Amino acid sequence: MIRRMISTLSLCVIASSAIAEPDAGALYQEHCAECHGPSRLGGIGPALIPQTLRRMYGPKMQDVIANGRVATQMIGYSDVLDSDDIIALEAYLKTPLAEVPNWGPDDINASRVMNDDYTAVAAPVWASDPMNITLVVETGDHHVSVLDGDTFEVLDRFATPFAVHGGPKFSPDGRYVFIMSRDGWVQKYDIWALQEVGQVRAGVNSRNIAMSSDGKHLAVANYLPMTLTILSTADLTVETVTDVAGSDGTPSRVSAVYQAPQRESFILALKDTPEIWEIATKPEVLFERRRIMLTEPLDDFFFSPDYRYLIGAARASEQGVVIDLEQGSVAASLPLAGMPHLGSGISWPRDGGRVLATPHLSEGMISVIDMATWSLVKTIKTDGPGFFMRSHENTPYVWADVFFGPNRDKIHVIDKQTLEIVKTLDPAPGKTVAHVEFTKDGKHALVSLWEDDGAVIIYDAATLEEVKRLPMRKPSGKYNVWNKISFSDGTSH
């Protein structure tokens, strides 16, 4: 209230010199800095930098400044800022920071907040099957729901950092989960105890996280600064922060980091330099780096189940490449136009071999590739470009959403053997429906009704009939403990 009064007074001062253009920097310091930090790097509110706010550009950002954001502490400023001020502020927030902050080990460790009330437990405080827990990330109000995969009862619903992105990563025993926000916060949550363990800010703008196969290390891929942070999973302290640059010295953002379990390493996709990095997590060579040289940067990866091969594509390219991780060289190239989203690709056995399938972000199609010959088996035409695909060992079907365009309310169910669409579901006409996860046994498929007053829609995976709808706030990804820790055939990395 006091803040509001001060804001109103300061606005009067600004209004009295109305001939001048609004001073967006001053407006920011006056109205926004208290929550979002004096350098726009975040505080109790998220960082306000273009890298994290891309999805709020245009009228949406002005709307949030004017009217606030539901289910958050962001209040509306339409009574104290006029439209010129709001337009000026929007332009200011869309401007990249003049200086990239140096977010090193000391800053990261200093940001660490452990939950004083957390008490470890010897066994789960609930009676559900620990391997059939499914987490639902609800981006509508920045929460995660913990679902019992048999009864679909919500065991807990906890707050996450703002704007979680990418899959949460489970410890190998499925007990802990690590969740990352685009602002670089990493949250550790104990599923057995249903309590947060702590949080740390591992980067300023981060892409995703990966867990080492022994569960000891958590790697965080950062765009800002251009680093890879590795945290101890035990207590979220920093183990190492590596500046990322190509062999010619060109600094590079890290597009993504992945776990390669059989290789006991992390694999890094680098955005700005034609290299792939492999970072060892074997104790005897811990964090040793290997560079695999490429001809152009690749920023989206799929892996063969044995992690021998990496399939990558540059977003703007017409080709995918297969890298043999053992040899460190290109094994084949693939015809993959239309922005394949390989990170959402999945593979399954077919005709005595194995195929991989990937949706495309700019065309309504799914490419199916033979993983022995690396040739295109089929292009499945869909009702629009899709984002996510999922299947399970125990189902004959692949589920693929249509994320973009007028048919974003549709989800295709595809026969894994015939590669034909057998059914197109339309559970909420006109609303976005996306991302599928299965229960541990593959008998149920959980689909997100990706709206603020959305739901998780549970289907019988055999009859394709709806079983139940659980109300959720813009649910995005869903993650089943068993499917993830066992690297189930139908789940993307």
Write down the least CB distance from residue 390 to ligand DHE, Å: 7
**Treating both helix axes as pointing N-terminal to C-terminal, what angle do 59-67 and 83-94 enclose, rounded to 10 degrees?**
120
Cα separation of 424 and 431, whole Å? 15
162 vs 309, beta carbon nearer ligand DHE: 162
167 vs 385, beta carbon nearer ligand DHE: 167
343 vs 442, beta carbon nearer ligand DHE: 343
Write down the least CB distance from residue 434 to ligand DHE, Å: 7
Residue 445 sits at the vertex; the CA angle it makes with 444 and 448, to the nearest 5 degrees, is 140
Write down the least CB distance from residue 110 to ligand DHE, Å: 26
Which chain residues interact with ligand DHE by CB under 6 A?
Answer: 54, 139, 165-167, 207-208, 256, 343, 387-388, 435, 476-477, 492
| E strand spans, 306-430 | 309-313, 319-324, 329-335, 346-350, 353-359, 365-370, 376-381, 389-390, 397-401, 411-415, 421-425
Cα separation of 260 and 346, whole Å? 16
309 vs 450, beta carbon nearer ligand DHE: 450
Q: For the chain, give the number of residues.
A: 493
24 vs 56, beta carbon nearer ligand DHE: 56
22 vs 367, beta carbon nearer ligand DHE: 367
Cα separation of 440 and 457, whole Å? 16
166 vs 203, beta carbon nearer ligand DHE: 166
Strands lying side by side in the sheet with 346-350: 346-350, 353-359, 365-370, 376-381
Write down the least CB distance from residue 21 to ligand DHE, Å: 31
Tokens of 382: 């869909």
Cα separation of 479 and 436, whole Å? 9
Write down the least CB distance from residue 20 to ligand DHE, Å: 36
Cα separation of 47 and 53, whole Å? 8
Write down the least CB distance from residue 37 to ligand DHE, Å: 21
Cα separation of 488 and 471, whole Å? 27
Q: Where are the alpha helices (DSSP H) in 17-76?
A: 24-27, 33-36, 50-53, 59-67
85 vs 437, beta carbon nearer ligand DHE: 437
